[in-house]
Amino acid sequence: MAEDRRKRKSKQAIEKAFLELLRTNTIESISIQQISKLADINRGTFYLHYVDKYDLLESLEDRYMSELKERVGVPNATLKNMGAENFSNFIIDTIIDFSEKHDAYYQAVLSTYNNTNFETKIEKIIHEILQIRLNNRTHIGGVPVSYFISYVFSSKMGLLNKWIKEGKQIPKSEIKRYLYELDKNGPVTLIFNEIEK
C-alpha cells in the first residue's frame, strides 16, 4: 500500500515537472535529467514509469483523451434529442471544462509543444459525437462531413486557444456566448450584418 502511494507520488511529481518544463521549452530540448531534478527523483525512478519523454507525453494525452471521451459519453438518444443551442453548449462546455480541469497540461501544450496531435485527438472525439447527432450523414450543406467538422472544430479551438493564451481575461460565459453566436450565425453573416448597420 505504501509502495503504491510512493509510486503514485513519483508519477505525479514527474508529470508536474514535465508540464512545468514544457511551458518554457520544446519537448526536444527537455532532458530526462531536467525532469528528474525538478521532480526530485533519480533517473532510474523515471524509467520505472516511462520509456522516454515521448512515452510520458503520450501517457498524459491518452489519459486525458480517455477522460474527455468519458465526459462526452452521454447516451446516443440524449445527443440525438438535443436542440441546436443545447448541443452547441454541450460541446463548448465540455472543452472549456476539460481545459480548466487540466490547465497545467493545456497551458504547456499551447505554450511550446506542437499541439497538432493533441487537437487531432480531440477533433476525433468531437467527430464521433457529431456523427451520432448527424445519423452518419456524409455531407452537410453539400460539404463533406469531415471537412465541415474540421472547419467548425478549428474555429472553436482557435478562439478557445486565444482566450487561454490571453489569460482568460474575458468571463467564461462571454466566451460561450461568442462561440454560440458564431455557431448560430456564421462569421460572414455577422460581418455583413455589422457593415449594414
Mean pLDDT of the region 37-65: 93
Same domain, 141 and 160: yes
Q: pTM for the complete prediction?
A: 0.73
Same domain, 37 and 91: no
Same domain, 67 and 20: no
pLDDT band at 56 (very low <50, low <70, confident <90, very high): very high
Mean pLDDT of the region 2-19: 87
Same domain, 86 and 113: yes
Same domain, 96 and 170: yes
Same domain, 112 and 67: yes
Q: Give the range of the structural domain holding residue 84, as residue numbers without chain letter.
A: 58-196
Q: How many domains does the chain have?
A: 2
Q: What percent of the chain has pLDDT over 70?
A: 91
Encode burial over 61-90: b for 16+ CB neighbours within 10 A, e otherwise: beebbeebeeebeeeeeebeeeeeeebbbb
Q: Give the pLDDT confidence score for residue 10 in this predicted structure.
A: 92
Given a cut of 80, is residue 77 above it in pLDDT?
A: no
Same domain, 109 and 63: yes
Same domain, 93 and 109: yes
Same domain, 19 and 89: no
Same domain, 62 and 131: yes
